[in-house]
Amino acid sequence: MKVLRTGAILILLSVVLVVAGGAIGGRGGLQIGLAIAVVMNFVSYFFSDKIALSSSGAQPVSREQLPRLYDVMERLAAKANIPVPKLYVVPDAAPNAFATGRNPNHASVAVTQGLLEIMNDDELEGVIAHELSHVRNYDILTSSIAATIAGAITYMATMGKWAMIFGGFGRDREDDRGGGGLSALLMIFLAPFAALLLQLFLSRTREYAADETGARMVGQPYGLISALEKLGTYNRRIPTSAISPSTSSLCIVKPMFGGETLSSLFSTHPPLEDRIAALKQIVNTPLR
C-alpha cells in the first residue's frame, strides 16, 4: 500500500507538470517543461548525493576513527540485507543525520558531530536504523525525483509569468486554445502550490515509514523514541551551521536555521510529537 501511495504521488506530480506546461505554454511550454525535467532528473539521479554531502561539509570517516558508528552500521546493514553505506561526519554541533544515494549500492549516511556526542548506544542504533530504512526503501531516489519534478513545475510557472508579461511562450495559433487565458493564470499560481503539497505529503509519509521500519529492524522502538526526543530538544536550541536548506529534507529531523519562523504546515517533516506517538502505538504490535 505504501509503495502504491508513493507511486500515485509521483504520478500526480508528473500530471501537474504536463497540465501546467500545456496550460501555460501550449505545446511549446510542454516540450520545454519536459526537457527541463529530464535534465534535472539526470543530475538528481547521478549527483544528488555528492551535492548533499559537499554542501554540508561532510567528511568520510574510517572504522579506525569511529569504531562505535561502524559497529552499529555493519550490524544493522546485515539485518536489513543491504551493503554497508559509506559513512560521513558533518562538523556541526546541532545533532542530526541523513542518508543519500540513488540505491543501496550507492548509499551514504552522514551524522553530525553533535549527534555522536549526545546519543547513547540505543539512541544511535535507532537513528542509524531510521536512515538505513530510507536507503532500503529507495526513499532518497524517490524524494529526489519528486523534488526535481516539483522544481520543473515551479520553473515552468516562473516562465509563464514572464510569458504573460511579454506576450508569448512559444505558442502558435494551434496551441492558443490549450494555453493562455484563465487556465494559464490559474496554473501559474496553483501548480507550484499543488506540487509543494504533494512533495511535502510524500516526504512526511516517508518519515513515518522509516521510523516504523527502523524500529522493527532493531526489534524495539524505545531507542528511536528517546533519540527523537533528544533531537527535538537540542534542535530547538542549536541552529545548524553546516546543513543547507536544500539538504534539510533529507535529515532525520528538520534542522533549525537562524531566525526561522516557517509554519509546520509547510515543513518537510511531520511534527516530532506525532512521530513519537506513532512509534509508541507499535509497542503493542509484534516487532520482528
Contact 74, 51 (CB under 8 A): no
Distance, CA of 155 to CA of 216 (rounded, Å):
40
Low-confidence residues of the chain: pLDDT under 70: 1-34, 36-38, 40-41, 44, 144-192, 194-199, 246, 258-266, 284-288
Q: Cell 515552468 maps to which residue?
A: 156
- Give me 99's grid cell: 542518508
Contact 207, 270 (CB under 8 A): yes
* Residue 84, pLDDT score: 95
- Give me 72's grid cell: 552499529
* Residue 265, pLDDT score: 53
* Residue 103, pLDDT score: 86
Of 131, 212, 229, 273, the active-site residue reads 131
- Give me 44's grid cell: 538528481
Give pLDDT tens digits for 116-125: 999 999 999 9
* Residue 48, pLDDT score: 75
Question: Cβ contacts of residue 167 below 8 Å, gap of 6+?
Answer: none
Domain residues for the domain of 99 are 2-284
Question: Cβ contacts of residue 193 below 8 Å, gap of 6+?
Answer: none
Domain tally for the chain? 1
Give Cα separations from 131 to 76, 140, 154, 214 (angstroms): 10, 10, 29, 8
Give pLDDT tens digits for 141-159: 777 666 666 666 666 666 6
* Residue 269, pLDDT score: 85
Q: Is 131 a catalytic residue?
A: yes
Q: Is 74 helix (H, G, I), strand (E, B) or coil?
A: helix
Cα angle value 33/34/40 (rounded, 5°): 90
